[in-house]
Structure formats: C-alpha cells, structure tokens
Structure 1
Amino acid sequence: MIRIEDADRVRTLTLDRPEALNAFNEALYDATADALIDAAADPAVAVVVLTGAGRAFSAGTDLIEMAQLNSGTKVKGRHGFGGMVDRIQAFPKPLLVAVNGLGLGIGATVLGFADLAFMADTARLKCPFTSLAVAPEAGSSVTFPQLIGRQNAMWALLSSEWLSAAECLEMGLVFKVCPADELMAVTMRHARILAAKSIPSLIEAKRTVLDGLGDSVAQARRREDAAFGRLLGSPANIEALTAFAERREPDFAAIDAREG
C-alpha cells in the first residue's frame, strides 16, 4: 500500500498501488496519514519525499470506492481524505514531492503543500473537478493561485485539461523538471542537502514561511468542502460518474438544460 525507506535522514514514502495507478482508497489515505504522523514525530527523520510506484504518481481518489462510500456500502477510514490532507498541511518538516507519472485530483493538488516539487519530463497533471461536476479540493483554490497566479490557477482548476511537465515548470507549480530516469536522484540530492541541516532550524524556517498562510488555507478548505457537498450526488455528478463507468464523455449540456 505504501513503502517506507530511510536513508541519510530522508524518509521516502512511495504510494504503492500500481495496479490502480496509486489511486487513493480509504486504506491508502489512512496509511499515508499514519506515515506522515510517524515521520513528523521521528527525531531521525529530517525530510520526507513522497512519490509513486509504477507509471503513475497518483490517479487521485478511487472513484469506484467513492461511489461505494456515497451509497453507504463502504465504511470510511480512520483518517480518510480530510485527515490525510490535515497531516500534509500540518507536516512540520520539509516535504518534497517527486511526480514520477500521471497525477490527477489529489495527485495534483498535493503540490500546493509541497515545499519543493520535482517532476519527470514525461509526467502530466490534471485537476479533473469540473469533468466530475464537483469543486476543487485540498485548499487548491488558495494554494494554486498563490503558487502559479490567478489565471494559471483558473485554467488548471476549471478546464480539467492535462498539464505537461513543461507547463507546470513554466507556471511555477513545480521546482524542477528532469528526465524520468533521473527524477529520484535529483530529488534525493536536494533532500540530502536539506537533511544535513538542523531539524529544529528546518521546522522553524518552514513555520515562518507558512504560518501566515494557514488561516487562508483552512478557510479555503471549508469553502471547498461546502461546495463539494452541494455538488456531490447532483444530477451532473451522477452523470459524470456514470459516464466514467461507461467509458464515455459526460453530457453536461443535457443535464444543465433539464435542471435549468
């Protein structure tokens, strides 16, 4: 589910559901949250690197399980989506993200919490919220405009279009792009530079940068959750999930015409 490796005061967390493109089910949300809690508390860990196994970084939330949760046939995890995002947002040490492949949904919006993000030149990102007839998540309605500017954020969050590695670098969504076979070496080289520093100094330095943003992100997440709640289970959202299962494009125009 998640692989944990330590070297030179750097802990690497590898999302390991390659058969599902590392999509987050409740078990993976829980495992990632627990791993972040452990890393935050471990005095031997100075830096955490988050990456994925196989050809994807993460395909986002497991839509099959989401449908089961919505229907009441699946029990939520101990942490779930919200709890994992809480742990990422509050993580006190440097968090580096190495995007090794496809990243959708939380596999893209997590970059809003990355202290440094690295991306393979073959990787792509997508925020598919409007294609699912839902709203942005994980504070991205604030973190993305802060990182990449309002218009780039609007395109990323409203279009549901793929963003290439080159586009992500140009926007400022990622720190560096490198050949796929060099991604982890480049990421780890930067991680080791940070990990050689005093952990209390790293924590305080990160806190001074991010403390002023905490309230705005918390407020954004509350707004996003409310918007998501209004849209989840709506006719358009049901059409989107049905279309996904049937491997076709959703017909939102017909839904809007009927509902209007």
Structure 2
Amino acid sequence: MSLLITDDKRVRTITLNRPDALNAFDEALYDATAEALRAAAEDPDVAVLLLTGSGRAFSAGTDLREMHARTTDPDFRPGKHGFPGLLDALVEFPKPLICAVNGIGLGIGATVLGFADLAFMSTTAKLKCPFTGLGVAPEAASSYLMPQLVGRQNAAWLLMSSEWIDAAQAKEMGLVWRVCEPDELMGEARRHAEVLAAKPISSLIAVKRTMTEPLRAEIDAARERENACFRDLMGGPANIEALTAFAEGRQPDFTALPAGW
C-alpha cells in the first residue's frame, strides 16, 4: 500500500509508503494522500493529523519519471486529484497538521512544511526545493508561504538555489520547530500531537481557522501565479534538459541553453 494509516488517542498518522521510490509522489500517491486528508478532516474522532514517511525519505517530491512522461507521452493520464487536489486538501485541512520529517524532503516533501502547524525533523534529514534545478517554477504557494515562514532572504535561497538544507539550518531558519535524533523523532512528534489531541476539536479548528483564514486569498493568488509560470516553463528547454539529464544519469548543463533560458 502506498499509504499506511493508523489511529491512536485521536491522532491519525499517515505514513507515505513508497520507500523504494523514496516516497516520491506518483499520481496514485497524490490521489491517496488527498483522499486521506479529506477523510481525516471529516472524521469526528480525529483531532490531529501526523504526516511522516517510511524508510529513509520523507518524500522525494514528484516522481520525475511521471513528470517526464507528462511532457513526452501523449497517452499520459493524470489522476483523479493529482498534485492540485493534494494542495486543495492541504489548504482546506481544518485540524492541526504535524509533519515529522524522517529523511530527505524534496519538492513537495519540503514545501508541504508551509502548511504544517508544527514540523519536527530528524538530525539526519535534509530538505531541498529543486525548482531551478528542474528548470521550473515554485509550487504549493511556496513563493508566498516560505517568505512568511522563514523570511525573504532565507526563502530566496531555498527557492532559487536548489541546494540542500540540513536540519540545523532548517531549525535556524524557522522552517521546522524541533530537531530530534532519528530514534526520538516519532515519539517526540506523537507526544506533542497527543497534547493537542486532548483538547476540544472544535477549539483546535477555531484556532487554526483564525490563524489561516487571513492567508487564504494570498495562497490562492500565489498558486495562480506559480501555475502560470509552471505552464510557461514545463516542457521548455531548461526543463527538458533537466529531465533528460535525470533520465541519462548526469548533471544538467543549463549554460548552453538559448538566451533567456
């Protein structure tokens, strides 16, 4: 199964479970996660959602093989919800969302932290927003949420450099709330989740709504801007070079692209 779901003490734990693919999101995993978020939102017995990954990754982001197929295969068919549906579910999720970053987080495996109410990270984990390395634009309203979360200059580095950020850097930036040793990560995240889950669900929802409602219009606007840029860049020379280099097992060379790319 691509997702593992467990309930305990009003905390629902969703574990991304494609360890052989570093929990990268293919269309099926996007669909399953979106549906799991919506189910948790509607379940009156769930107070808090805890999201983590299996194996050595939190999530390696969008499955690049499917991204390549999207641009090259005329028969490619997107899922029912896909990436946009997952973002809709994250934006609308009304209850506390806690992320436990157990390993590498790439792309949506990093930008999802913009939607987390609390984020815990293993000392051995690392994060990357690889958009410029893929020749594309930011995603998941990260162009708005990351400056809000970590400040403009930290966000500029995160979104422009395509460089790895280790746990200490993530904590210093304010990208995550707590850094834990690997064998303590889930226990610490669960302990805090259970503290919240013991509170009235109606009150938790009210607190989150009053905190996030002022951001909704800006998130929607950021997604529209990002999607427009993504459409312009997807399948362009830089993106094709990046995906071809990935398929060929080499580093991309953007220096030989046409002027402006």
Class of the TM-score when normalised by the shorter of the 2 chains: over 0.9
In the alignment, residue 250 of structure 2 is paired with which amino acid? R
User: Any idea what SS the aligned residue of 2:66 has?
Assistant: helix
User: SS of 1:93's equivalent?
Assistant: coil
- What amino acid is aligned across from residue 42 of structure 1 in structure 2? D
The aligned counterpart of 2:83 is 81
Structure 2 equivalent of residue 38 of structure 1: 39
Report the equivalent of 2:112.
110
* TM-score w.r.t. length of structure 2: 0.98
Query: What is the 5 A alignment of 1:63-212?
Result: 63-70=64-71, 71-212=73-214
Q: What is the deviation of 1:245? A: 1.0
Aligned to 2:18: 17
Superimposed CA distance per residue, residues 43-73 of structure 1 (whole angstroms, 9 cap, x where no aligned partner)? 0000000000000000000010112222233
Report the count of equivalent residues.
Answer: 259
Q: Could you tell me how far apart the structure 2 residues matched to 1:59 and 1:148 are?
A: 22
2:254 maps to amino acid? F
Q: CA deviation at 1:246?
A: 1.1
Matches within 5 A, 1:51-62: 51-62=52-63
Shift of 1:195: 0.1
Farther off after superposition, 6-15 or 67-76: 67-76
Q: Name the aligned partner's letter for residue 182 of structure 1.
A: E
In the alignment, structure 1 segments of 5+ residues that lack a partner are: none
- RMSD of aligned C-alpha atoms? 0.9
**Percentage identity across paired residues of the two chains:** 63
Task: Kindly state the Cα deviation for residue 256 of structure 1 after the two structures are TM-superposed.
Answer: 3.6
Aligned counterparts of 1:220 and 1:203: Cα–Cα separation in 2: 24
Q: Secondary structure at the match of 1:85?
A: helix
**TM-score normalised to the size of structure 1?**
0.98
Mapped partners of 2:36, 2:239: distance in 1:
32
Deviation at residue 236 of structure 1 after TM alignment: 1.1
Of 213, 220, 228, which residue of structure 2 is paired with 1:218? 220
The alpha-carbon deviation at position 189 of structure 1 amounts to 0.3
> Hey, what's the Cα distance between the residues in 2 that align with 1:82 and 1:65?
15
| CA deviation map 1:126-171 (0-9, x unaligned) | 0000000000000000000000000000000000000000000000
User: What is the CA-CA distance between 1:74 and the residue it aligns to?
Assistant: 2.2
Q: 2:256 matched to which residue of 1?
A: 254
Task: State the distance in 2 between where 1:249 and 1:11 align.
Answer: 40
Alpha-carbon distance between aligned partners in 2 of 1:113 and 1:21, rounded to the nearest angstrom: 21
Provide the secondary structure at the position in 2 that maps to 1:61. Answer: coil
In 2, the alpha carbon distance for the partners of 1:132 and 1:73 equals 23
Offset of 1:185 from its aligned partner?
Answer: 0.1
Distance apart, 1:228 and its partner CA: 0.4
Q: Runs (4+) of structure 1 moved beyond 3 Å?
A: none
> In the alignment, which residue of structure 2 is the partner of 1:6?
7
